Structure 1
Amino acid sequence: MIATKLIPRTASAQEQPLLVKTILAQSLNYEPQREIVYRDLFRMNYVEFNQRVRRLANLLTSSGVKPGDTVAVFDWDSHRYLECFFAIPCLGAILHTINVRLSPAQILYCMNHAEDKVVVIHEDFLPLLDAIKSQLTTVETFILVSDKVYQNQEVVIPDGFVGEYESLLNTASDQYDFPDFDENTWATTFYTTGTTGNPKGVYFSHRQLFMHTMGLVTYICGYEAVAFHSTHDVYMPITPLFHVHAWGFPLLATMLSARQVYPGRYEPEMLLKLLLKEKVTLSHCVPTILTMLVNSPVARQVDLSRWKVIIGGSALTKGLAKAALELGIQIYAGYGLSETAPILSLTYLNDTERALPIDEQVEFRTRAGRIAPFIDIQLQDDDGQPVPHDGHSLGELTARGFWLTQGYYKETERGEELWRNGWLHTGDVAAITPDNWVIIADRTKDVIKSGGEWVSSLAIENCLSQIEGVAESAVVGFPDEKWGERPHALVVLKPEYAGKVTAETIKTALQGQISSGDINKWYVPDRIVLVGEIPKTSVGKIDKKKIRAEMKALIFS
């Protein structure tokens, strides 16, 4: 370490910690009259929002929540969830966002492992809670959430609950002075599932959430990667708030006092209704959700040219990007992990690329984006040595930055493996261009080695997406005596192409791409199976673990 000269500290000077409450405070400074909307049921401005956050802080305190305690939240994407995003960490407590799509056994493990003390839960998830409630070891208090209060319907409070969220909030004071504390204080936790073992507890500090928000401000508002302007943009997440803090955008939108719209349970009709009525301009989602919306008959009857959509969670294919662009949707790709809070890269078109015709922009928009500000990325080979960023050499993508998690809760060894050699290992194989574009080739476990060639399953899926009639696909590799491994594909057709497109016509189309020089012969799957749907994980990603198991039974039975 080099010798440096430190600034002398004045005894009376105070160093302000980087806390979530600082983000909240900004929401009242410039546009406090702007609204936060929940479906067609509720709306409030930022003055009311701040009051409700403080009421929630008082409610939780009176329920026994102390600094360091963990509060679990089960809810659809709502204004209430946004209030929990701020009230819980600002108390010095820990927000545990529950993935409601996990199995009851997995949720039970996560809640006991996180040592949840208080549970805020929407009544839609009560059957899930009932299945595990008797086995919870640390929970002391339950608070019910219900939309019926906005519809003048009776709310039934289950046994053991202290009451209903809105009623309790209305009786709490709207005055609360959030304290200062160390910026490295634990703020949030959630659990990420892997291919083996129990879910892993990822955690983030106030400092990390603050710095991630500053990174988004720099890239999205400063460099205008997605050009989010609080004066005329309207934000609506279509990524669950339990999924990596909805990629950090609720914190960003709140800091900017931007108009926000929360859709609750994802229903195509409600999403489109809110999109049009509230004039939504910025959303983010996994490809599955965008595919559903793009294929909706209503989508071709309305003007979507103001809508900017960031795709993450799974690769954005050229076929889906073209379909979205044809509808006027401005499409972008982002990349990151649960462990990275999550933003590592995001589409940024420079002046030259922005001037290209839309068809030529697709190549750039379907990459994983350019490396985000304040993030260092290095490609490494199997020996941990750097791989050149020349646009074609492949290596495992490793990262460092201000907002990356330090490890996994109560799992020191797995955290050390994540951070071996001082870099966070993503498990993704990628190339990086000299001008900082990230091109994900595959997960390390999904790359297919066939005939001595490395074949990317994502590249094959990209080729399949451009074939007429193909709505969605997933490719996995299986052992082959002659070639080492060969790709096999599941394909979902667009409804109007059922019976018109077959596995053979798809292979023929791929052969045509070989003839034109777009791909090589190793990219044509040995087997193409047409299916009604492709298995997905709890957060909407393609579940290749399940696909391998199902196709293995099909191929080798």
Structure 2
Amino acid sequence: MPKASESRQVRLTPSAYAYPLLIKQLLHTPLATCPEQEIVYRDQTRHNYWTFRHRIGQLASGLLEIDVGPGDTVAVMDWDSHRYLECYFAVPMTGAVLMTANVRLSPEQLAYTLNHSGARALLINADFLPMLAEMRDKLEHIDRFVLLDDTGSTAVPDDFVDEYENLLARSSPDFAFPDFDENTVATTFYTTGTTGLPKGVCFSHRQIVLHTLAETAALTSAPRQGRIHRDDVYMPMTPMFHVHAWGMPYVATMLGLKQVYPGRYAPDSLLELMMRERVTFSHGVPTLLQMVLSCPAAAAADLRGWKVVVGGSALPRVLAQTALERGIDVFTGYGMSETGPILTLAQVKTATPADTSHELDMRTRTGLPVPLVELRIVDEQMHDVAHDGKTSGEIVARAPWLTYGYVGDPAASERLWAGGYLHTNDIGVIDSQGYLQITDRLKDVIKSGGEWVSSFELEDLISQHPAVAEVAVVCVKDAKWGERPLPLIVLKAGEFADEQSIQKHLKEYAIRGVISQYAVPERVVFVDAIDKTSVGKVDKKLLRAKYQTAG
């Protein structure tokens, strides 16, 4: 009898280079094709990619000099800067692990994440020295501190090993970055989007390189809208401690783009830097885009040609329309800390009808899956539901860059990957064109009188009221209906609305069949501000607790 067929493995020539997918490989193209391209930090620093590579070597040599090497974890507390970009590369390229510390956590939470990560060294901006003083006696492993100082006037504390620029100046740029297993951990950070203590996620070199390639493929495959190309100028409006700044610094570096880093975010300074450096590609949360568009200097600014990916929260239709009217190519991106992060981008297909309303629908949806992402909408038994744009289920995913689990928490990791797919805990629908639309979070869904009410949909409709600046809808308990939606609304300066006008606004949509009558809330609460998480997302967990008994 003939033998059963067997798969055949590639036979490697002994001298062949296996080319591990390591972060260092992302540097080949920019250094070969555009080494004179600029990297800019505020109005303080401007250098080219050759200098960038030189400084990466110096940082690696400097870390080795202070006895930090492969397997060690190096934490960074800094604003978005050229230094942070150098750490994105130099630290993992030595075989060490980059821990991007969330500087917006409380000192207690931050100390927990630093301890949990096992960080041995901390590179810290002088702005955060008071925070370090508050948590210093709680730090269990860190015994090497390096000061990051923009002013040049901050004295290096006695127990610090040095100041960053001094460390680089005395260190050799000729560091030979080694090859090692591509599955080596490259980065770790902590998600605050879950209950309890922050959970750590980590990513390997292979995962980061594949995420970079897929994100690049998605952004460069678009013929016009939502496209990035080598002539773009990149500036993040997302903290670099948050999910690799959505992976874009790696993409921008691999493509050899001019990069502009703004330091601490302030709408006026972002706008000034954007105009001066002719920025064309950014990303951030809706709140920050709204702040930039609302600052006084924005009225006279020419924003045409600026491409902005909005993530972290749903992109309100009104904000998208305002941005489009200013000539901004705005669209949604979706992912989470556990997904490294990009899963979808809301790019508009070329065949989309030339209708402003329809185009707004496309741009504000959750989007199309990027290459290599397998996206499913499933019921409680993990069965696929219809892709009809109406039938909802939980969004689960597979991609080669998704985190394999939570650091030190195998039980939570198993729940995350139940059934062999990563569970996002987001509820959504997929339409016949493949567009995903999130309708709610599992923990935010509202079931009122046996009928589901989407908080996301209500937020989008309420935001279209002319007096509304910002809105969040939370679920509150109700003796009669079990649960009811409660809108929390911030009004625009100088505008007026009351509970009745908001209800009337929503009832008009109910009459048209856009929402059900059940979705119209009995109560509306007007607030001065809506609580946000450390990364600028609406903190619905806190809001639910705060307004559960609101009268």
Could you state the TM-score of these two structures normalised by the residue count of structure 1?
Answer: 0.96
> Partners of 1:108 and 1:431 in 2: how far apart?
39
Gaps in structure 1 of 5+ consecutive residues: none
1:226 and 2:189 equivalent? no
Matches within 5 A, 1:233-312: 233-312=232-311
1:42 and 2:45 equivalent? yes
* Secondary structure of 2:440's aligned partner: strand
| Structure 2 match to 1:207 | 206
| Structure 2 match to 1:496 | 494
Gaps in structure 2 of 5+ consecutive residues: none
How much has 1:164 moved relative to structure 2?
Answer: 1.0
Letter in 2 for 1:283: S
> Partners of 1:296 and 1:358 in 2: how far apart?
26
* Secondary structure of 1:67's aligned partner: coil
Residues 232-264 of structure 1, C-alpha deviations (whole Å, 9 max, x = no match): 210000000000000000000011110010000
Residues 352-395 of structure 1, C-alpha deviations (whole Å, 9 max, x = no match): 12x52333310111101111110001111112222222211111
Residue among 520, 529, 532 paired with 1:533: 529
How much has 1:504 moved relative to structure 2?
Answer: 2.0
> Partners of 1:332 and 1:251 in 2: how far apart?
20
Is the CA contact (8 Å cut-off) linking 1:291 and 1:471 kept in structure 2?
no
| Structure 1 match to 2:139 | 136
How much has 1:195 moved relative to structure 2?
Answer: 4.1
1:80 and 2:78 equivalent? no
1:197 and 2:196 equivalent? yes
| Structure 2 match to 1:467 | 465
* Secondary structure of 1:404's aligned partner: coil
Cα distance change on mapping 1:348 and 1:2 into 2, 3 Å = farther
> Partners of 2:36 and 2:83 in 1: how far apart?
19
| Structure 2 match to 1:378 | 376
| Structure 1 match to 2:453 | 455
How much has 1:297 moved relative to structure 2?
Answer: 2.7
1:146 and 2:144 equivalent? no
| Structure 1 match to 2:503 | 507
> Partners of 2:357 and 2:43 in 1: how far apart?
37
| Structure 1 match to 2:406 | 408
Residue among 520, 524, 539 paired with 1:524: 520
> Partners of 1:11 and 1:434 in 2: how far apart?
49
Is the CA contact (8 Å cut-off) linking 1:380 and 1:396 kept in structure 2?
yes
* Secondary structure of 1:29's aligned partner: helix
How much has 1:508 moved relative to structure 2?
Answer: 1.5
How much has 1:328 moved relative to structure 2?
Answer: 1.7
> Partners of 1:411 and 1:7 in 2: how far apart?
37
How much has 1:266 moved relative to structure 2?
Answer: 0.4
Is the CA contact (8 Å cut-off) linking 1:32 and 1:46 kept in structure 2?
yes
Is the CA contact (8 Å cut-off) linking 2:123 and 2:147 kept in structure 1?
yes
Is the CA contact (8 Å cut-off) linking 1:396 and 1:425 kept in structure 2?
yes
How much has 1:347 moved relative to structure 2?
Answer: 1.3
1:96 and 2:96 equivalent? no
> Partners of 1:34 and 1:14 in 2: how far apart?
29
> Partners of 1:420 and 1:515 in 2: how far apart?
41
Is the CA contact (8 Å cut-off) linking 1:53 and 1:87 kept in structure 2?
yes
Residue among 97, 115, 119 paired with 2:118: 115
How much has 1:11 moved relative to structure 2?
Answer: 2.4
> Partners of 2:401 and 2:222 in 1: how far apart?
19
Letter in 2 for 1:16: Y
Letter in 2 for 1:67: P
> Partners of 1:168 and 1:379 in 2: how far apart?
51
| Structure 2 match to 1:175 | 174
Cα distance change on mapping 1:426 and 1:3 into 2, 3 Å = farther
Structure 1 runs, 4 residues or longer, greater than 6 Å off? none
Is the CA contact (8 Å cut-off) linking 2:268 and 2:292 kept in structure 1?
no
Please provide the CA RMSD for this pair.
1.4
Is the CA contact (8 Å cut-off) linking 2:79 and 2:263 kept in structure 1?
yes
> Partners of 2:194 and 2:373 in 1: how far apart?
27
* Secondary structure of 1:65's aligned partner: coil
Is the CA contact (8 Å cut-off) linking 2:533 and 2:539 kept in structure 1?
yes
How much has 1:440 moved relative to structure 2?
Answer: 0.2
Is the CA contact (8 Å cut-off) linking 1:24 and 1:86 kept in structure 2?
no
1:68 and 2:71 equivalent? yes
1:17 and 2:20 equivalent? yes
> Partners of 1:323 and 1:222 in 2: how far apart?
26
Letter in 2 for 1:302: A
Letter in 2 for 1:459: E
Moved more, 34-43 or 217-226: 217-226
> Partners of 1:438 and 1:381 in 2: how far apart?
16
| Structure 1 match to 2:538 | 542
How much has 1:2 moved relative to structure 2?
Answer: 8.6
Is the CA contact (8 Å cut-off) linking 1:191 and 1:200 kept in structure 2?
yes
Letter in 1 for 2:527: V
> Partners of 1:419 and 1:514 in 2: how far apart?
38
Moved more, 386-395 or 536-545: 386-395
How much has 1:178 moved relative to structure 2?
Answer: 0.4
| Structure 1 match to 2:362 | 364
* Secondary structure of 1:242's aligned partner: coil
| Structure 1 match to 2:437 | 439
> Partners of 2:162 and 2:68 in 1: how far apart?
16
